[in-house]
Structure 1
């Protein structure tokens, strides 16, 4: 693995790898990745390499082609009620990497099977709404948070990525172009990581 590729994994990569491994994602798992961006693109690739079926969950159709290029098995626009119903009680895990301020728990709890696991790695500036406790209790849904992993988990993650030929999507900038990189970051470009080369 090249240095610039490896450097892209050192926060977002391990932040998604660690909980997927901890919560036993593997063959037979059906993982919804909520938010296809800097974190989500790692989540898709790791879950797929672990043997899971991976469903992209996104607020619009804008990233459909990207999701399939990353390896997703299906793509669901979360505002499409009928499309969401297709996966009622079908997901074993949801990896939440990003949501908007209109987020509510119920549509995602509906997707999870009994004893399903909602993994949150998203830390927005706004607060999530209250958890619908009766729904959580009746479906026995587990809600967990996860931060970046330990040095040993990071090393394991890099080896897993190398073994499975997982490559971050990134754009490389010369250090002299750091201001351009900042401008591109603020503009939401490119997908999905930035690497500065000295």
Structure 2
């Protein structure tokens, strides 16, 4: 039987979120039912609830940073049992048969992965996210949260953690490498922690020095203000990898100038506006401008295990569900250190 649960939803584009009830599907033989304990607020929740990235599905229950406890399992489930600590990230299904899926890159499913919210499931019904009391997901798209991680600080790892871990690993972050993180927000602060734990020399590039003390405490070795033109002169040709986490268009030519020969500028932020780029800034020095989108399920589990081993959780502000709309405005004003997490017991 389906389950009725309380949730917070945006009834229409740009409308304030409000308390409502939604239906969760019956637990199938390969499904797990998770009682959600905590749900992170990602900037992409705001982009989608306000249709910044295009037409969306309403009512929308955002949330793809989900941490909770398994309370029911289907008859064929082998990876989870009742009582396990589990998480759900940005996707809840994929075709499972295409080349990317078979390679553990479900986020790049040729048919399109099923998003945790603002998507259409294989049953033809809209998907609803983590701003709710429970979620039902096929076991292959749930991950185990290690005991060493508190569920509240683990929730943001399901997006912010994997979104930064995957490209940092892919582009060879480690001892002897110089890595810059652009922006010290929800994504950026995780990028600093993870790059530091991987053994790189880490620099934060932020608009101002307002968060410098935080950045250094989180693991950065250096901190520069991008509003100071001298920064781009002083750091020219310095970095092996630059990870841009910001959701605003940048002067990519200027940032490419900070790379060593053969270096990579990897973008995980998703601005709503297109960018302009003079290709000569790529040609000189054989530089790379790349993108990265979350990670596959196996890599997400790898990231969680890595974070548990190194004592890495998100820096959070725990809020009640009634504060979601206020939290959205604060995110837009960069007034959060560094991830809002909803205590779903308050929904």
TM-score, reference length from structure 2? 0.54
- When the two chains are superposed, the root-mean-square deviation of aligned CA atoms in Å is 1.4
> Using the alignment, how far apart are the partners of 2:219 and 2:232 within structure 1?
20
> Using the alignment, how far apart are the partners of 2:247 and 2:213 within structure 1?
20
CA displacement at 1:85 relative to structure 2: 2.0
Alignment match of 2:327 (pick from 184, 191, 194): 184
Query: What are the residue-to-residue correspondences of 1:11-50 with 2, within 5 Å?
Result: 11-50=159-198
| Larger RCO of the pair (alpha carbons < 8 Å, separation 6+) | 1
Segments of structure 2 that go 5 or more residues without pairing to the other structure are: 1-148
CA displacement at 1:84 relative to structure 2: 2.6
Residue 263 of structure 2 corresponds to residue 116 of structure 1: yes
Match in the other structure for 1:134 = 280
> Using the alignment, how far apart are the partners of 2:168 and 2:259 within structure 1?
15
- Give yes or no for contact 1:88–1:110 (8 Å, CA) kept in 2: yes
Query: What are the residue-to-residue correspondences of 1:168-179 with 2, within 5 Å?
Result: 168-173=314-319, 177-179=320-322
TM-score, reference length from structure 1? 0.92
Q: Deviations over 1:84-136 (max 9, x none)?
A: 322111100000001544x2122211110000001100101111112x21231
Q: Secondary structure at the match of 1:61?
A: coil
- Give yes or no for contact 2:248–2:270 (8 Å, CA) kept in 1: no
> Using the alignment, how far apart are the partners of 1:190 and 1:60 within structure 2?
16
Match in the other structure for 2:10 = none
- Give yes or no for contact 1:54–1:74 (8 Å, CA) kept in 2: yes
- Cα pair distance change 1:145/1:6, threshold 3 Å: same
- Give yes or no for contact 1:35–1:99 (8 Å, CA) kept in 2: no
CA displacement at 1:62 relative to structure 2: 1.7
Q: Secondary structure at the match of 2:232?
A: helix
Match in the other structure for 2:228 = 80
- Give yes or no for contact 2:247–2:272 (8 Å, CA) kept in 1: no
The structure in which a higher percent of residues are helix is: 1
> Using the alignment, how far apart are the partners of 1:85 and 1:20 within structure 2?
25
- Give yes or no for contact 1:34–1:99 (8 Å, CA) kept in 2: no
Between stretches 151-160 and 81-90, larger displacement belongs to 81-90
**Residue correspondences, number:** 193
Alignment match of 2:251 (pick from 104, 107, 111): 104
CA displacement at 1:168 relative to structure 2: 0.6
The structure in which a higher percent of residues are strand is: 2
